[in-house]
Structure 1
Amino acid sequence: MTIRQWRPFRIIADNASAYMAANVAVYGVLLVGFGLGLAFPQLSQAQHRRLQEDGTADLVQGLITNPWLFALTILAVNTLRMGVLTIVAPSLVIPFGGVAFFAYWDVTTGMTLVPASGIGWVALIPHTLTVIVELQAYLLLLLGAFLLGRGWVAPRTVDADNRRQGYVRGLQELGWLALPALVLLVVGAVYEAFSLRYVVHPLADWLL
């Protein structure tokens, strides 16, 4: 079996239009959020305060010197909070539910990414790749959530006789897409942890 024949890639190929539309929407909404944060700094500042108040900023500072533990923490947060709780779980009980929750996260994350200092702009250079990789992982889960919802609401689109069969088939496709999504989340977590630890400050010393 070649890579192209692996089931997740066949699912993506069979739903290429939906996947491309999701890419445009996800990156577009993120950029809209970033633009809003630039145009209205109070929105970005509010997101930064939230990270301070909920302990996220302190957690990052405490873990950044141990990149492997930092990567494991990032992976846990991205997999459980974002992948499972934000995208998958709502979609299991409400058709396309995870899409709505993710859209809110997407725009607020765009606001959060607006740097508050010079070193923040430097950090954004390597962090952009992190954003791209992690969003691709979420896009696979979003595609799975879409296919689950479509099979649930319109079972004939997946050649199912009833909604129950459509739900099961959509759930199977979501499960397959979760495999490459997990791989991307692992790659993104390791890259993010090590880039923040070893790339940002040398890059800042060179650019600032």
Structure 2
Amino acid sequence: MTQNVKSAQHMRFLRKPFQIVRDNFRAYLIINAIVYGLVITGMVAAIVFPNLGTNQVATQENSGMTDLVRSLINNSWLFSLTILGVNVMSGALLIVIPSLIVPFAGIPIFAYRAFTLGLLLAPTTSIIAVGLIPHSLTILIEFQAYALLMFGSYILGRSWIRPATIGARNHRQGYVRGLQQLGWLSLSTLPLFIIGAIWEALSLGYLLPPLIQWLL
């Protein structure tokens, strides 16, 4: 009996986020277009206007993030945990928490962040270009997690402002139901963040060095 209950809970965990996406598929596609489109736009902008990319790299180095990566890159599992922590905190601070206070606030905040990350990821040197071969999978996985959080923020904001869209009677009930859907979508991002962090750490530590030697 207990096993059946656990199986039902696992199935609900898997089905619920897909159901939310299916019920709001157009909004989901638009959010994904915004996220990935801004990353690509940032990469193109850094190629066309090199100073933009240079300034972003300098900002990253001044923040200490580059030194942190260098110090952890040979310890893949610690590096993975650090990446996971940074990604989860970024999602919470930039997308989820602002959207809990102001409807849709996390969407423009992370949209700007996606653009600046695109500037940082632009293949402006041969080493970065080679790095994008394995790192493109990291971008696909991790930004999908961010897109799901932005999508959840959209659902929350819409439910809050227009309660009828989620079958609620008033704004308070709309907020609560929207928050529940944001919660389900947030849970679904954890496997993506974990897989993305592990792949990023392993690819940078073990795959990128031989690729650089082979191709350059």
TM-score (norm 1): 0.96
How far residue 121 of structure 1 moved from its aligned partner, in angstroms, is 1.1
Deviates more, 1:111-120 or 1:146-155: 111-120
Counterpart of 1:102? 110
How far residue 18 of structure 1 moved from its aligned partner, in angstroms, is 0.6
- Deviation digits for residues 59-115 of structure 1, max 9, x if unmatched? 0000000000000000000001x2100000000000000001001101111111113
| 1:135 partnered with 2:128 | no
Amino acid in the other structure paired with 2:48 = A
Matched residue SS, 1:199: helix
How far residue 23 of structure 1 moved from its aligned partner, in angstroms, is 1.1
| 1:204 partnered with 2:212 | yes
How many percent of aligned residue pairs carry the same amino acid?
48
Counterpart of 1:75? 84
Name stretches of at least 5 consecutive residues in structure 1 with no aligned partner: none
| 1:46 partnered with 2:55 | yes
| Match for residue 159 of structure 1 among 140, 164, 167 | 167
Q: What is the rounded CA distance, in whole Å, between the counterparts of 1:118 and 1:139 in structure 2?
A: 29
Counterpart of 1:57? 66
| Match for residue 121 of structure 2 among 113, 119, 142 | 113
The 1:156–1:125 alpha-carbon spacing in structure 2 relative to 1, beyond 3 Å, is same
Amino acid in the other structure paired with 1:156 = A
TM-score (norm 2): 0.93
Counterpart of 1:174? 182
Q: What is the rounded CA distance, in whole Å, between the counterparts of 1:172 and 1:8 in structure 2?
A: 11
Alignment length (residue pairs) = 207
| Match for residue 32 of structure 1 among 41, 44, 54 | 41
| Match for residue 92 of structure 1 among 80, 100, 113 | 100
Q: Give the aligned CA root-mean-square deviation in angstroms.
A: 1.3
Q: What is the rounded CA distance, in whole Å, between the counterparts of 2:36 and 2:205 in structure 1?
A: 26
Q: What is the rounded CA distance, in whole Å, between the counterparts of 1:99 and 1:145 in structure 2?
A: 7
Q: Which runs of 4+ in 1 moved over 3 A?
A: 1-5
Q: What is the rounded CA distance, in whole Å, between the counterparts of 1:200 and 1:48 in structure 2?
A: 19
Amino acid in the other structure paired with 1:42 = N
Name stretches of at least 5 consecutive residues in structure 2 with no aligned partner: 1-7
Q: What is the rounded CA distance, in whole Å, between the counterparts of 1:79 and 1:197 in structure 2?
A: 21
Q: What is the rounded CA distance, in whole Å, between the counterparts of 1:84 and 1:142 in structure 2?
A: 11
How far residue 180 of structure 1 moved from its aligned partner, in angstroms, is 1.4
Q: What is the rounded CA distance, in whole Å, between the counterparts of 2:126 and 2:115 in structure 1?
A: 23
Counterpart of 2:202? 194
